Structure 1
Amino acid sequence: MGARGAKPKPTALKVLHGDRSDRINHEEPLPPEGEVTPPEELSDDARAVWNRLAPSLIAVGVLTPWDTDAFVIVCESLARYKQATKLVNGSALLVQGPTGFVKNPALTVQREAETTFAQYGARFGLTPSDRTQLKVDVASGRSGAGAERLLS
C-alpha cells in the first residue's frame, strides 16, 4: 500500500482559510440548511462538549446537518479523554497487574481518545494548527451562508 497524502481540507475551511478561488470546488454539493441538533444517544459528558463547541462551529458554517455523526465522534472522544484523565490523575501511572506492575490501562484509553479527537477535531478546525489559519468575518462570525460561501 502506497503512502497517503494529507486528507483534503473541507471546502468550508478552505473558504475560511482564504484559499485561492481556483482551489475551491464551486460545484461541491452543499448540505441542506437546517437545525443541527445533538443526537439523543450522546453521553452526558459528550453533550457538554457539544453544547460548548457546536454553536461556534455552526455559526461559521463548519458544522452542518451532514456532519453530525463525525462531530459526535469528536464529542465522545473528548469526553472519553477527560474521563480517562480523571482516572489517571486519581491513581498511579503504574498499577498492579497479574505479574507485577503494568502501565495504567487508563493511559491507553486516554491516548486513543486523544488521537481520535485530534483526527476528527482537525476536520472541524479544532486543533491549534488548523485554528491559526481560520479567517472569519469578525463582525458577523460567519463565512457566508449557503452557496455564497463558495464564491468568495
Structure 2
Amino acid sequence: MGRGGSRVGTGPKPSAKRTTLAPVAPVIAPADLTDAERAQWDRLAPTAVAMGTLVPETVPGFRLLVEVAAERVATAGIIAGHGRIGSGGAHPLLTHLRQLTQRLESLLARYRIAAMGRPAEVPTKSEPDAGTAGKRDFYGTLRAVR
C-alpha cells in the first residue's frame, strides 16, 4: 500500500505567461584581462548579453569562462606547433586540452552560449498574452490558434 504525497510533476500546468526582463546595467569587461582573454570576451559577451545571462552580477563567472577559453586556445596552439603525436607517443598536453575543453563546454552551457539540441528561447521584452494570441505547444513555443 503506497503512502505519501502526490508524484513529482503532477498537478496543474504552470502558467504560460512570461515575465518581462528588467533593464540591466551595461556589462563592462574587466580592465585587467590579457589580450587573449579580451579577444574571447569580445567574441562571447554579445551572445551572453543577448541571452540575458551576462549581467554585472555574473561578471566573475564569465571572467572564468574567458580565461578557460583563452587557455584552451593557447594549449591547442602549443600542441599544433609540436604535433599531436611525437616519438614518445601522444603529446603530454592532450589530457590538459581535453580537461579544458570539458570545462569550457560546461561554462558555455551555464551562459547559454553552447550549442544545444534545439534553439534556446531568447528572452523577450514583451510577449502577447497567451490567452488571446495563441497556445503553447509541447516545447513552449507560442503557436497561433486555428
- 1:143 correspondence with 2:117: no
Aligned residues: 116
SS in 1 for 2:113: coil
**Match for 2:81 among 83, 90, 94?**
90
* Superposed CA offset, 1:30-59 (max 9, x none): 998212111123221111011112123213
1:121 is displaced (CA, Å) by: 0.8
Cα 1:118–1:22 shift into 2, 3 Å:
farther
Matched AA of 1:143: T
Cα 1:42–1:93 shift into 2, 3 Å:
same
**Match for 1:34 among 25, 28, 31?**
25
Name the counterpart of 2:91: 104
Partners of 1:103 and 1:31 lie apart in 2 by 51
**Match for 2:38 among 38, 42, 47?**
47
1:22 is displaced (CA, Å) by: 5.0
* Superposed CA offset, 1:109-152 (max 9, x none): 2112111111111011122116x33123xxxxx522xxx79x99
Partners of 2:79 and 2:119 lie apart in 1 by 33
Larger relative contact order, structure 1 or 2 (CA cutoff 8 Å, min sep 6): 1
Please say which structure displays the higher CA radius of gyration.
2
1:95 is displaced (CA, Å) by: 4.7
Cα 1:110–1:22 shift into 2, 3 Å:
farther
Q: Please, which runs of 5 or more residues in structure 2 have no aligned partner?
A: 1-12, 131-146
SS in 1 for 2:47: helix
Contact 2:51 2:112 in 1 (8 A): no
Q: Please report the TM-score for the alignment, with normalisation by the length of structure 2.
A: 0.63
Contact 1:61 1:143 in 2 (8 A): no
List, as ranges, runs of 4+ consecutive aligned residues in structure 1 with deviation greater than 4 Å: 20-24
CA RMSD between the two structures:
3.2
Q: Please, which runs of 5 or more residues in structure 1 have no aligned partner?
A: 1-19, 137-141
SS in 2 for 1:129: coil
Name the counterpart of 1:16: none
